[in-house]
Amino acid sequence: MTTTDRPGRSRAAGPAGPSAARARRPVVLAACMLLLLAAVVASLCVGAQTIAPAEIWRALTGAGDGEAYLIVHDVRGPRTLLGICVGAALGTAGTLVQTLTRNPLAEPGILGVTAGAGFAINVGGVLGLAGGQVAQLVLASLGAALAAVLVYALGSAAPLRLVLTGVALSSVLAGISLGLRLMLPDVFDRYRFWSVGSLAGHEQVPLTLPAATIVAALVCAALVTRPLSALVLGEEVARSLGGHVLRTRVVVLVLVTLLAGAATAVAGPIAFLGLMVPHLARRLAGASVPWLMAYTMVLGPVLLLASDVAARVLLPTGEVPVAVVTAFAGAPVLIWAVRRRGRVPS
């Protein structure tokens, strides 16, 4: 027997369905971890000079030749670690925003958070305040927070209005940032990789502080899944279960600001990753917030590393910024999400 949950769709009835889905979650998560391992290997192997996996292993263990060792340790190794951190940060930020707002269209880039972080760093560069790692991280976090507050203040709680407000604000901030870079090319010469959203060009930049910030925020995001699960059921239900609604909202917004700000500070504006990852994770993990968060932290790096590998091989000479690849992949997801939401009865 089947029960219909939407016109034209049916699902199996009975307790076996949900139980089987719960039993599959660890298995599918393990498969996603294997995909992450494959993405890491591909990121280390593929580039202007292809390196065999055996050479990668010898380089990692210190037994390889000089050239492979230098490429792995000085270029592709840091780039791969950066991709893991940024992918997990943006994917988790997107999941937190979508879960908190219960809006499948929400994403740090679409809501202006990423553009706000980038704009703050650009202004800091003009004023000479963005020279250090700490300064860039602080500026990016402040810009992300101000953009988020402005979008929510102007867009209210209406999902489509929120998205339109975020897109409009992102366009304005991106236009101003581009104007600053064109007027002051010498000032922004060292930001050329960062400004287009790329994992390249960070080999000589210390990433300890942004990486530590992202890891700490990811740990906090894992700890906030229980109160967030209660909040998903509604504010009244969350309060009846002993939850602190306002505190949960503030903590989640702070985590989104830190994650998106730190990721943007080191890799530049990379859009749509925070939109794609939650939708993919939700299809695999279901509505359980703890499982959704676990899947997100694995799938975010998988998608970003895969996009970065594709960015290296799309052109016969050189490579394209990874943000271009994520934009091409994410735009159809946004259109699908908008159309799907429009078909759901209100």
List residues bridging with 3 in a β-sheet.
11
Q: Is residue 66 part of a domain?
A: yes
In this model, does residue 10 exceed pLDDT 70?
no
Count the domains in the chain: 1
Q: Which residue has the higher pLDDT, 130 or 129?
A: 129
Q: What is the pLDDT of residue 130?
A: 67
Q: Is residue 281 part of a domain?
A: yes
Q: What is the pLDDT of residue 190?
A: 64
Q: Is residue 130 part of a domain?
A: no
Q: Is residue 135 part of a domain?
A: no
% of the chain with per-residue pLDDT over 90: 26
Q: Is residue 307 part of a domain?
A: yes
Element (DSSP H or E) covering residue 331: helix 322-343
Q: How confident is the model at residue 345 (pLDDT cuts 50, 70, 90)?
A: very low
Distance in angstroms (rounded) separating the CA atoms of residues 93 and 188: 27
Q: Is residue 164 part of a domain?
A: no
Q: Is residue 85 part of a domain?
A: yes
Three-state DSSP at 11 gives strand
Lowest mean pLDDT, pick from 6-15, 23-32, 223-232, 301-310 = 6-15
Average pLDDT, the chain: 83
% of the chain with per-residue pLDDT over 70: 87
In the predicted model, what is the mean pLDDT of residues 332-345? 68
In the predicted model, what is the mean pLDDT of residues 123-127? 85
Q: What is the pLDDT of residue 233?
A: 79
Q: How confident is the model at residue 294 (pLDDT cuts 50, 70, 90)?
A: very high
The closest of 33, 51, 149 to 88, measured between CA atoms, is 33
Enumerate residues 6+ apart whose C-beta is below 8 A from 56. Answer: 41, 44, 45, 68, 72
Q: How confident is the model at residue 341 (pLDDT cuts 50, 70, 90)?
A: low
The closest of 205, 264, 188 to 79, measured between CA atoms, is 205
- The CATH code of the domain that includes 208 is 1.10.3470.10
Q: What is the pLDDT of residue 158?
A: 62
Q: How confident is the model at residue 298 (pLDDT cuts 50, 70, 90)?
A: very high
The closest of 207, 106, 213, 200 to 161, measured between CA atoms, is 106
**CB distance 123 to 256 below 8 Å:** no
Secondary-structure percent of the chain, ordered helix, strand, coil, rounded to 5: 75, 5, 25
Q: Which residue has the higher pLDDT, 39 or 272?
A: 39
In the predicted model, what is the mean pLDDT of residues 222-251? 84
Most confident of the ranges 62-76, 144-158, 256-270: 256-270
Distance in angstroms (rounded) separating the CA atoms of residues 56 and 108: 35
Q: What is the pLDDT of residue 286?
A: 85
Q: Which residue has the higher pLDDT, 159 or 100?
A: 100
Q: Is residue 223 part of a domain?
A: yes
Query: Residue 81 belongs to what domain range?
Result: 32-103+195-313+320-341
